[in-house]
Chains A and B, each alone.
Chain A
Amino acid sequence: MIKTKTGKSSRIRQGDIYKSIEYLEYIKEKKGVLEISKIIYPYVIVLTQDCDLKQDFVNRKEKKVKPEKTQDKYLISVLVAPLFNIEHFKKGEHFSELELHMRDDIPWDKTEGDKIRKNELPRYHYLKFPSELEIVDSIIDFKHFFSINIESLNKIRRKNFVCSVSELFREEISDRFAFYLSRIGLPELKPKEGQMNTIKELPPQIA
């Protein structure tokens, strides 16, 4: 289980969880009609470094008092990742309203499921919340991170705030996210035609 805080802060913090967050997919105009497509995520967690969020807050505050100050520490956007209800995730239905079918064959009673629960698979982070919170056990899928404009988030942060993941637990999430992003994808190399496959060519007792 993770430790959380429910007291509202004067600013956005890393580890904050907000509900009903909109992701703008596109805006297009055709024959005088504007079309705006957005995805509404039930819950997201803030991944932006807390020091950057703090500097943004302080810089904006100082700018009001000292207009000559630069806006060097201002942030344009905040990085977030969606949280999915674990029961939807298990069935591969967490994106079903976007007509996307995700994996539904993860064996939850075997090694792979166990690895997800223990946060041993880089792509996912399992969160078990205290029972007094409104939010159920959820999973972060780092693959689907996105950004939201900081001023838009600030306007709704008080109303949409759910809780904040405590420091040590949020650091673990941040560390795992950084690891996931920085992983190196290696190609699967196959032997060229005619090239000796060393494993197959070896005598059976060695292969």
Chain B
Amino acid sequence: MSKTEKTNTDDYGEEGISQTETTDIIEEEPDKYKSIEPEKDKHTLLKPKRVIIRAKITHDKN
């Protein structure tokens, strides 16, 4: 293993992309993933699931 790989630093940072518009979530389909505790057996029973998020665009006055 190289010297670099031993480092435990998160090299990517947490900065997001700067936004010029803000959004308010007005509707989201129920998300089974959020309601299930991270118990090991339950997660393996999940199947790929589609989630649709609709958000109203509001312009940032700043």
Q: Which residues of A contact B46 (CB under 8 A)?
A: 42
CA distance A120 to B53 in the complex (A): 40
Q: Please give the number of chain B residues whose Cβ is less than 8 angstroms from any Cβ of chain A in the complex.
A: 31
B49 touching A97, Cβ below 8 Å? yes
Instruction: Write the nearest CB–CB distance from A74 to chain B, whole angstroms.
Output: 11
Interface magnitude class on chain A = 35 or more
**Given known contacts A32-B56, A33-B54, A98-B50, is B10 in contact with A42 (CB within 8 Å)?**
no
A170 CB-CB contact with B under 8 Å: no
Main secondary structure, interface of B, reads mixed
Q: Does B11 contact A (CB under 8 A)?
A: yes
Residue pair B47, A57 in contact (C-beta under 8 Å): no
With A19-B43, A85-B44, A97-B48 in contact, do A151 and B12 touch (Cβ < 8 Å)? Answer: yes
A25 at interface by CB-CB < 8 Å: yes
On chain B, the residues within 8 Å of A155 by CB distance are 12, 14
The reply on A110 being an interface residue by CB < 8 A is no
Q: Which of B5-62 contact A (CB under 8 A)?
A: 5-12, 14, 23, 26, 31, 33, 40-41, 43-57
In the bound complex, CA of A61 to CA of B47 (Å): 36
Say how far A76's CB is from chain B's closest CB, in angstroms.
Answer: 13
B49→A39 contact, CB < 8 A = yes
Shortest beta-carbon distance from B20 to chain A in Å: 14
Q: A33-B55, A134-B43 are in contact. Are A154 and B48 (CB under 8 A)?
A: no
For A67-100 the 0/1 string (1 means CB < 8 A from B) is 0000000000000001011001000011111100
Complex Cα spacing A37 to B9, Å: 33
Q: Which of A89-135 contact B (CB under 8 A)?
A: 93-98, 133-135
Whether B55 lies near A42 (C-beta < 8 A) is no
- B43 adjacent to A42 (CB under 8 Å): yes
B56 touches A37 (CB 8 A): no
The CA of A96 and the CA of B46, in the complex, are separated in Å by 11
Check if A40 is an interface residue, CB within 8 A of chain B: yes
Which residue in A9, A38, A85 is a CB contact (below 8 Å) of B5? Answer: A9
Query: Interface of A with B (CB < 8 Å)?
Result: 9-11, 19-20, 25, 29, 32-43, 54, 57-58, 60-61, 64, 82, 84-85, 88, 93-98, 133-136, 151, 154-155, 158
Interface residues of B (CB under 8 A from A): 4-12, 14, 23, 26, 31, 33, 40-41, 43-57
12 A-B pairs with C-beta separation under 8 A: A10-B11, A20-B33, A32-B57, A34-B56, A35-B54, A36-B54, A42-B46, A54-B5, A57-B11, A60-B11, A97-B49, A97-B50
